[in-house]
Amino acid sequence: MKAIVHAEKDGFDGLSLCEVEEKTPKAGEVRVKLKAAGLNHRDLFVVLNRHKHTDPPLIVGSDGAGVVDAIGEGVTSVKIGDEVMINPSLGWKEKSDAPPVGFDILGHPTDGTFSEKIVVPAENVVTKPAYLTWEEAGVLSLAALTAYRALFTRGKVQSGMKVLIPGIGSGVATFMLQFAKAAGATVYVTSRSKEKGEKALEIGADKAIDSNGDWDMELNGEKMDLIIDCVGAATINKSLKQLRQGGTIVTFGSSTGDMIQLNLREFFYGQFNLLGSTMGSGEEYKEMIAFMEKYQIRPVVDQVFPLEQYKEAFSRLETGKQLGKIGFYIG
């Protein structure tokens, strides 16, 4: 079968589309013939930083959807022919304060979804809602799950809240915008791109402001109940300035850098809450899919490539041209 493999060289030079051997599911596992897969910022980190040429070859990718084509011994929850989406959160079943020891994400260190077939634990596949196309189902798992936990479990978003989402170009951010609107919040977003801001307004944002502009002026003194900032160093202090006293800021990403300076006095006088979040559990994954189905939420799909065009797909993500999800169609 064909797969996008990272091997022998570090960075993008180590990526190639090649023939690899199909695997057979062991007890408790299923094999999925993939129809579509999705790219995440994590795939860039894996290829550029985490997976080294000295490591065994790795099939990249965390998101995917397809049809079950083989099941291992003892699997009763799914059968051959079922249309499923893959939850990339490995070893984290129930909602909890943090993932348990042994938690991992599909696509590093274990083989991922940029492949014609994949073997995963049966507990990691969930029935694909019929209203989603294969491409929509294939691109959503990691980003939508992260958005769901950050917004609901950690941020405790509620109807009537004012929510600010910096960097709306991010795949996770577009889900947060859709989820927060469905939950009844007023949602403001920022972007460096006027065009992405305009698209966000079409998706439902109540206001889109320039990430590089003067947020005090653009928000006209309005303060936020909840801010979910995954841009990191470039925006976190601007975000904090827009939080109401006692408000909450959730972070789960730092695309522009991990290190920040924090004015502690302003922080404690403001009685602010700063929460970390990461991915989500199997329980949250199921809740998230039910929520999406209830509100008929469709992922914002930026562009979908065949596996052969993996270089173009990675380059689009690396240069940040996308709004929403970049995907691969496979079968």
Ligand X SMILES: NC(=O)c1ccc[n+]([C@@H]2O[C@H](COP(=O)([O-])OP(=O)(O)OC[C@H]3O[C@@H](n4cnc5c(N)ncnc54)[C@H](OP(=O)(O)O)[C@@H]3O)[C@@H](O)[C@H]2O)c1
Applying CB under 6 A, the residues found at the interface with ligand X are: 40-42, 142-143, 146, 167-172, 191-193, 196, 211, 230-231, 234-235, 252-256, 278-279, 320
Cβ proximity to ligand X: between 87 and 191 the closer is 191
- Min separation Cβ 82 and ligand X, Å: 27
SS3 content of the chain, % helix, strand, coil (to 5): 30, 30, 40
Dihedral Cα 252, 255, 260, 262, nearest 10 deg: -40
- Min separation Cβ 229 and ligand X, Å: 9
- Min separation Cβ 173 and ligand X, Å: 6
Q: Tokens 């977003």 correspond to what residue?
A: 189
Give the list of residues 6+ apart from residue 203 with CB closer than 8 angstroms, or none.
174, 177, 178, 300
Cβ proximity to ligand X: between 75 and 148 the closer is 148
306: Cα separation from own chain's centroid? 20
Cβ proximity to ligand X: between 31 and 181 the closer is 181
H helices present in 115-182, as ranges: 134-139, 141-148, 171-182
Rounded Cα–Cα distance for residues 235 and 215 (Å): 10
Cβ proximity to ligand X: between 67 and 203 the closer is 203
Cβ proximity to ligand X: between 60 and 168 the closer is 168
Cβ proximity to ligand X: between 90 and 143 the closer is 143
Tokens of 219: 């928000």
Return the residue nearest ligand X (CB atom). 253
Q: What is the DSSP string of 313-324?
A: HHHHHHTT--SS
Q: What is the DSSP string of 164-201?
A: EES-TTSHHHHHHHHHHHHTT-EEEEEES-HHHHHHHH
- Min separation Cβ 105 and ligand X, Å: 8
Cβ proximity to ligand X: between 14 and 169 the closer is 169
Dihedral Cα 303, 4, 111, 92, nearest 10 deg: -10
Rounded Cα–Cα distance for residues 256 and 230 (Å): 9
- Min separation Cβ 169 and ligand X, Å: 3
Name 208's bridge partners: 189
- Min separation Cβ 159 and ligand X, Å: 25
Cβ proximity to ligand X: between 25 and 299 the closer is 299
Tokens of 149: 């936990």
Tokens of 271: 């009685």
